[in-house]
């Protein structure tokens, strides 16, 4: 079996983060041979979950956590973590989620995602849940206007969920334009964010 040098595998597998299959095509050999030399050179093999993550994020992480350099950023970091801790959905392992009826809270959390966690804006998704006696069009237009400064567009919204209207009360008045949930799907950032909470 022709040898594949360690420096070659470190270049393709470690630095360029190519898969065994991709490297096998470069060397015109089997994936089994690549895996053999990875083990032989004692290069740590990526787990299945890491390999899947790598495949889905070919250009690297779709985020870049900022180093806090001033008081304004420190305040935004604290606000973002506080909102996520108090209002966010922490059960889902694959995505960062926060839902609310107040556009000020939603805007501040998006600002936290963009300016502190360095999330790519086009990767943010939004889910809107309204009551059946609300106008879907008016609700969508309301939220698009409220989030226009962040470049959010209609294509970033999931299909609107309509809940049957049952009673009119304080909560119904507060949710005149429904509940909006901000989503950012990334298991790696989700783990990092959870580790930042004082749990």
- Measured CA to CA, the distance from residue 114 to residue 124 in angstroms comes to 9
- The predicted structure's pLDDT at residue 93: 86
How many whole angstroms separate alpha carbon 143 and alpha carbon 153? 10
Tokens of 64: 């870049």
pLDDT in tens, 29-47: 999 999 999 999 999 988 7
- Chain Cα centroid distance, residue 60: 13
**Count of Cβ atoms closer than 10 Å to residue 89 Cβ:** 13
> pLDDT tens across 124-168, in order?
999 999 998 889 999 999 999 999 999 999 999 999 999 887 765
169 pLDDT more than 80: no
Strand runs (DSSP E) across the chain, as ranges? 88-89, 95-100, 125-131, 161-163, 179-185
Residue 176: the pLDDT is: 86
């Amino acid at each position: 079996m022709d040898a594949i040098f360690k420096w070659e595998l470190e270049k393709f597998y470690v630095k360029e983060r190519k898969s065994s299959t991709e490297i096998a095509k470069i060397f015109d050999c089997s994936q089994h041979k690549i895996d053999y030399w990875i083990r032989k050179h004692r290069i740590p093999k990526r787990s299945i979950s890491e390999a899947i993550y790598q495949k889905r994020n070919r250009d690297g992480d779709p985020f870049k956590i900022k180093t806090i350099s001033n008081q304004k950023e420190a305040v935004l970091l604290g606000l973002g973590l506080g909102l996520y801790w108090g209002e966010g959905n922490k059960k889902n392992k694959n995505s960062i989620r926060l839902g609310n009826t107040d556009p000020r809270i939603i805007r501040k959390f998006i600002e936290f995602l963009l300016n502190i966690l360095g999330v790519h804006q086009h990767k943010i998704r939004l889910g809107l849940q309204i009551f059946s006696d609300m106008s879907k069009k008016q609700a969508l237009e309301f939220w698009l206007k409220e989030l226009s400064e962040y470049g959010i567009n209609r294509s970033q919204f999931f299909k609107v969920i309509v809940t049957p209207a049952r009673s009119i009360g304080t909560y119904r008045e507060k949710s005149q334009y429904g509940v909006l949930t901000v989503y950012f799907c990334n298991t790696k950032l989700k783990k990092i964010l959870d580790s930042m909470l004082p749990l």
